[in-house]
């Protein structure tokens, strides 16, 4: 039996004293539900209303389940939000009570609801405190990253507008994901959660929850920077929600989260502005060097442990009260507006900027590619993507990408970013090949892995080799092929034999 499977079974069957402590403090069963609160819905109730299970989204190293809500007539290049439940909760409960489906319908975006089980953790908590699950390319974090890739491929979601939010243990995992995958997530929202990489063991989780871990902003920031070494930005925009009467996750964790992400952004811990919102909520905004909001904290006076909701039919109202969904303010509305998901709502990001036109390759060398594009009115900056990954954020309409491999093809798109930090639609793709030559290489992998590695692409559920455009069959992990790369960036099927 593999060690990872044995470890998960041991968690389920013989929890350690440390796990029991985590269960007692982080579980949504740790205190009684508020008086009059409704019970979470049955598992089938939400599914009948639109939440759908998704299988085959990847190799799933973290043993998670994927559910998704995709509004009818979802436009191409729409955003996608990943929403993580708390301990003992389910994807159904978060779908039914958080309010995210309302704004997905109103503003046009997809929502992915990952779900963990007792096979991973005795109380179905996301393992935010376990390096085997919380690091880049590992366990549950890797499974969630695969769900994002599935959404991009299957729903046409915009890779520049991917966001993640979570409650309690889901909030802790949200912070870990923002640190491990800052190139994937444009923003995050941590509700009653923990700083990224606060704990690296079950025993250390309790100290984080009670707020006894005392670090400087730079030390907190270093935990983020160490999660994806060498990455220098752009960084996600982070919202932090916390009740002042939370006795499960101490409110000092919100301060630690603020210190962590303002340090990562290179800005101070003094707010640029502070204002009052409904539900006895104080909002503090920390702007980046260009004056755009980078970090926001929302302190809800008198609220305990849970996600703030505000049932009703108004635009700024959402959700329903239940265990750990507490009537105060619609945190989902304000989070979505902070990210710019709204379409012209007060205080929102407004209409998204159009795609830059005229993207062209202006020069290549053995180790660099130079690009230029036409200016977009209203753009404060641009984001350059190389092979689908954020590479740079220039303010000019030209960019030279250095440090590349010789004789290699690279794919580029550019997105305009408005003054609020909201990216628009991606440009048409261009391909540039550096000079020189590279030896032919052979790769044997599943169709899913070939797409993830950039050797193939998908269209209508089928996989095609990049360059030759040969049909490789269905997009899944069960069909495998050997691809030969020659020249660089051009792949052909070589199942009968491949000689480098």
Active site residues: 168
3-state secondary structure 67-120: EEECCCCCCCCCCEEEEECCCCCCHHHHHHHCCHHHHHHHHCCEEEEEECCCCC
Other beta carbons within 10 angstroms of residue 289's beta carbon come to 9
Dihedral sign from CA coordinates of 346, 241, 317, 42: positive
Distance CA 450, CA 458 (A): 10
Of all helices (H) and strands (E), which one includes residue 249? Answer: none
Distance CA 309, CA 322 (A): 10
The phi and psi torsions of 97 (rounded to 5 degrees) equal -115, -20
Nearest to 164 by CA among 181, 150, 139: 181
User: Do the beta carbons of residue 174 and residue 168 sit within 8 Å?
Assistant: no
The phi and psi torsions of 80 (rounded to 5 degrees) equal -140, 135
In the sheet with 369-372, reading across from the earlier edge strand, the strands are 360-364, 369-372, 398-401
153-165 in b/e form (b: 16+ CB < 10 A) is bbbebbbbbbbbb
Beta-bridge mates of residue 170: none
Of all helices (H) and strands (E), which one includes residue 181? Answer: none
Residues near 140 by beta carbon (within 8 Å), at least 6 away in sequence: 62, 63, 64, 114, 116, 120, 126, 127, 133, 134, 173
Rg, Å, the chain Cα set: 23
For 138, how many CA atoms within 13 A lie in the half-sphere containing its CB? 17
Nearest to 211 by CA among 170, 257, 179: 257
CA angle 41, 44, 47 (to 5 degrees): 100
**Cis peptide, bond prior to residue 399, ω within 30 of zero:** no
């Amino acid at each position: 039996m593999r060690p990872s499977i044995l470890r998960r079974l041991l968690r389920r069957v013989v929890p350690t004293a440390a796990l029991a402590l985590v269960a007692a403090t982080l579980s949504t069963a740790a205190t009684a539900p508020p008086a009059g609160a409704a019970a979470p819905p049955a598992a089938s109730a939400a599914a009948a209303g639109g939440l759908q299970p998704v299988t085959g989204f990847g190799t799933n190293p973290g043993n998670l389940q994927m559910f998704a809500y995709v509004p009818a007539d979802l436009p191409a290049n729409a955003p996608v939000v990943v929403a993580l439940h708390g301990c003992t909760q389910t994807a159904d409960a978060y779908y039914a009570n958080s309010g995210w489906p309302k704004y997905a319908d109103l503003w046009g975006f997809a929502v992915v609801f990952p779900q963990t089980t007792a096979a991973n953790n005795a109380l179905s908590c996301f393992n935010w405190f376990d390096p085997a699950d919380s690091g880049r390319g590992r366990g549950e974090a890797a499974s969630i990253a695969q769900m994002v890739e599935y959404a991009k491929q299957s729903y046409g979601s915009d890779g520049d507008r991917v966001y993640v939010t979570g409650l309690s243990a889901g909030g802790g995992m949200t912070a870990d994901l923002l640190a491990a995958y800052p190139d994937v997530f444009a923003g995050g929202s941590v509700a009653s959660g923990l700083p990224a990489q606060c704990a690296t063991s079950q025993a250390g989780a309790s100290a984080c929850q009670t707020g006894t871990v005392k670090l400087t902003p730079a030390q907190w920031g270093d935990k983020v920077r160490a999660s994806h070494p060498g990455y220098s930005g752009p960084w996600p925009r982070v919202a932090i929600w916390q009740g002042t009467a939370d006795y499960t996750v101490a409110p000092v964790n919100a301060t630690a989260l603020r210190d962590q992400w303002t340090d990562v952004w290179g800005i101070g811990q003094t707010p640029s502005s502070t204002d009052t919102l409904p539900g006895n909520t104080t909002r503090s905004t920390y702007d980046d060097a260009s004056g755009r909001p980078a970090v926001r904290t929302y302190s809800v006076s008198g609220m305990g442990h849970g996600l703030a909701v505000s049932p009703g039919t108004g635009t700024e109202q959402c959700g329903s009260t239940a265990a750990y969904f507490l009537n105060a303010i619609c945190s989902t509305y304000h989070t979505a507006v902070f990210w710019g998901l709204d379409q012209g709502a007060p205080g929102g990001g407004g209409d998204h900027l159009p795609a830059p036109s005229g993207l062209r390759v202006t020069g290549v060398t053995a180790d660099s590619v130079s690009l230029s594009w036409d200016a977009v009115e209203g753009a404060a900056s641009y984001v350059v993507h190389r092979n689908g990954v954020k590479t740079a954020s220039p303010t000019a309409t030209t960019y030279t990408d250095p440090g590349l491999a010789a004789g290699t093809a690279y794919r580029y798109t550019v997105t305009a970013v408005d003054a609020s930090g909201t990216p628009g639609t991606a440009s048409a793709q261009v391909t540039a090949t550096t000079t020189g030559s590279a030896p032919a290489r052979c790769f044997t992998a599943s169709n899913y892995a070939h797409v993830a590695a950039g050797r193939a692409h998908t269209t209508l559920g089928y996989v095609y080799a990049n360059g030759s455009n040969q049909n490789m069959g269905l997009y899944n992990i069960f069909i495998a092929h050997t691809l030969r790369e020659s020249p660089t960036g051009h792949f052909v099927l070589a199942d009968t034999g491949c000689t480098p």
